[in-house]
């Protein structure tokens, strides 16, 4: 793979590289790691890449790689830039004939996401989106338990994603991660919902198998001087009849990355916490709650296929991330062999999640600004 973004000091670029490397199936062969050519060069060298495969900008990379013999060139592009560049880079890659694996949110705004979908359909190329948290084996198990009907008809969803790192003006303190996320020119219309709320919404839809159809939102920018939301609560209604709440915040002091989900059907409930990802709770009316654990023999095949170590050897965020890369690699391989992707590969989030995510972000912001209670979630 080739990488765009992720130069020295970037967080998510390194995560993508570790995730891609973990299973020994994906090799980083080139990159345009920074818009600053020197920084890109230094980054490439630190990654042991040959100088000629380290590019000063992504446009040059697409051209040069496309010109290489098929067996040498990169097979897909990983996009790990700030949000406003996701679309232009993806567009360039697709137009140059490369599959795309993109960090989320997919684009700067919904219009771009819709354009991107057209482009993906037009080129017939593959597009993956790193909604990381659906990469955890027990999130997959949760989804399968609900699909199997074990929990009955789903009624109630509680999904939440509190963080605390933006509780004060980090963006003034030379914190790059904070600065771009709170800058409308680079992040888009939302900070909290764009950065983390969208993960929560995606998780809720993935696990329940239901789509959001309506929402009512109350977003805030609690910290003075912020143009974008740093906290928000959203009431949700789903197409299968479930109702829910989604709560995301960047100012819950002391919280790290506490993405949690609870789902209740008429026969049972489940609960999962990202910070203890190797435990999934199933809850029942007339018998004890059960604690399912990653790596256990009683889990379904999809969870098993996404697990690397035996029970009790904890897997974490990088393993979940690597699962997305393995799924995407599976898609690429299946495409090359002209066969249907296997179950694990088919489970990779893609362009539909991209469009839904951007729809969610824009609708949440609009709904919060409105006096109207309910807002329809457009099923583009």
Of residues 253 through 292, those in contact with a copy of itself by CB under 8 A are: 253-258, 262, 264-269, 274-278, 282-292
* Positions in 299-318 near a copy of itself (CB under 8 A): 308-318
Residue 297 binds a copy of itself (CB under 8 A): yes
The Cα-based distances of 219 to 23, 231, 257, 324, 357 in angstroms read: 40, 6, 19, 30, 17
Closest to a copy of itself by CB, 165 vs 334, is: 165
CB 33 within 8 A of CB 5: yes
Residue 1 binds a copy of itself (CB under 8 A): no
Residue 298 binds a copy of itself (CB under 8 A): yes
Total number of residues binding a copy of itself (CB under 8 A)?
88
> Which residues have a Cβ under 8 Å from the Cβ of 140 and sit 6 or more positions away?
134, 300, 302, 303, 306, 347
Q: Residues 95, 233, 239, 335: which binds a copy of itself (CB under 8 A)?
A: 233
Q: Residues 2, 82, 137, 295: which binds a copy of itself (CB under 8 A)?
A: 295
For residue 96, the minimal CB distance to a copy of itself (Å) is: 25
The Cα-based distances of 239 to 37, 44, 87, 211 in angstroms read: 48, 47, 29, 5
Residue 222 binds a copy of itself (CB under 8 A): yes
Q: Residues 107, 130, 249, 307: which binds a copy of itself (CB under 8 A)?
A: 249
Residue 327 binds a copy of itself (CB under 8 A): no
The Cα-based distances of 39 to 57, 66, 103, 182 in angstroms read: 11, 23, 21, 24
Closest to a copy of itself by CB, 43 vs 109, is: 43
What phi and psi, each to the nearest 5 degrees, are found at residue 15? -60, -45
Closest to a copy of itself by CB, 52 vs 371, is: 371
User: What is the Cα Rg of the chain in Å?
Assistant: 20
* Positions in 350-369 near a copy of itself (CB under 8 A): none
How crowded is residue 356: how many other Cβ atoms within 10 Å of its Cβ?
Answer: 24
The tally of CA atoms less than 13 A away on the side-chain side of residue 26 is 31
> Per-residue x/- mask for a copy of itself, residues 57 to 96, rule CB under 8 A?
----------------------------------------
Tokens 């597009």 -> residue: 127
Q: What is the 8-class DSSP label of residue 35? A: S
For residue 229, the minimal CB distance to a copy of itself (Å) is: 11
For residue 261, the minimal CB distance to a copy of itself (Å) is: 13
Residue 346 binds a copy of itself (CB under 8 A): no
* Positions in 124-183 near a copy of itself (CB under 8 A): 151, 155-156, 158, 160, 162-165, 167-168
Q: Give the separation between CA 233 and CA 222, rounded to whole angstroms.
A: 13
For residue 310, the minimal CB distance to a copy of itself (Å) is: 7
Secondary element (H or E) of residue 254 = none
Closest to a copy of itself by CB, 151 vs 363, is: 151
* Positions in 21-40 near a copy of itself (CB under 8 A): 21-24, 28
How crowded is residue 340: how many other Cβ atoms within 10 Å of its Cβ?
Answer: 8
């Amino acid at each position: 793979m080739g990488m765009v973004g992720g130069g020295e000091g970037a967080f998510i670029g390194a995560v993508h590289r570790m995730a891609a490397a973990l299973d020994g199936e994906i090799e980083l062969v080139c990159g345009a790691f920074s818009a600053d050519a020197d920084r890109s060069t230094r980054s490439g060298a630190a990654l042991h890449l040959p100088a000629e495969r380290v590019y000063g900008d992504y446009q040059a990379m697409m051209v040069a790689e496309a010109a290489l013999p098929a067996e040498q060139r990169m097979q897909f592009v990983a996009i790990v830039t700030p949000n406003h560049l996701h679309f232009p880079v993806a567009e360039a890659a697709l137009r140059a004939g490369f599959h795309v694996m993109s960090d989320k949110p997919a684009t700067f705004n919904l219009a771009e996401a819709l354009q991107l979908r057209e482009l993906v359909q037009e080129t017939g190329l593959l597009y993956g989106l790193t909604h990381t948290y659906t990469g955890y084996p027990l999130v997959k198990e949760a989804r399968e338990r609900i699909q199997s009907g074990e929990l009955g008809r789903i009624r109630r969803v509680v999904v939440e994603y509190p963080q605390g790192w933006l509780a004060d003006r980090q963006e003034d303190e030379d914190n790059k991660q904070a600065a771009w996320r709170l800058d409308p020119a680079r992040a888009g219309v939302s900070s909290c919902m764009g950065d983390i709320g969208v993960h929560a919404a995606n998780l809720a839809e993935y696990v329940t198998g239901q789509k959001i159809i309506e929402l009512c939102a109350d977003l805030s920018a609690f910290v003075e001087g912020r143009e974008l939301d740093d906290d928000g609560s959203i009431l949700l209604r789903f197409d299968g009849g479930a109702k829910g709440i989604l709560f995301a915040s960047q100012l819950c002091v002391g919280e790290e990355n506490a993405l949690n989900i609870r789902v209740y059907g008429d026969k049972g409930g489940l609960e999962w916490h990202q910070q203890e990802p190797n435990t999934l709770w199933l809850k029942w009316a007339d018998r004890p709650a059960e604690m399912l654990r990653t790596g256990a023999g009683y889990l379904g095949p999809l969870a098993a296929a996404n697990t690397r170590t035996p029970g009790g050897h904890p897997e974490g965020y990088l393993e979940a991330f690597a699962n997305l890369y393995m799924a995407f690699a599976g898609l690429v391989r299946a495409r090359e062999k002209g066969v249907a992707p296997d179950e694990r590969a088919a489970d990779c989030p893609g362009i539909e999640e991209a469009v839904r995510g951007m729809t969610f972000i824009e609708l949440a912001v609009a709904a919060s600004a409105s006096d109207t209670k309910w807002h329809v979630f457009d099923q583009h």
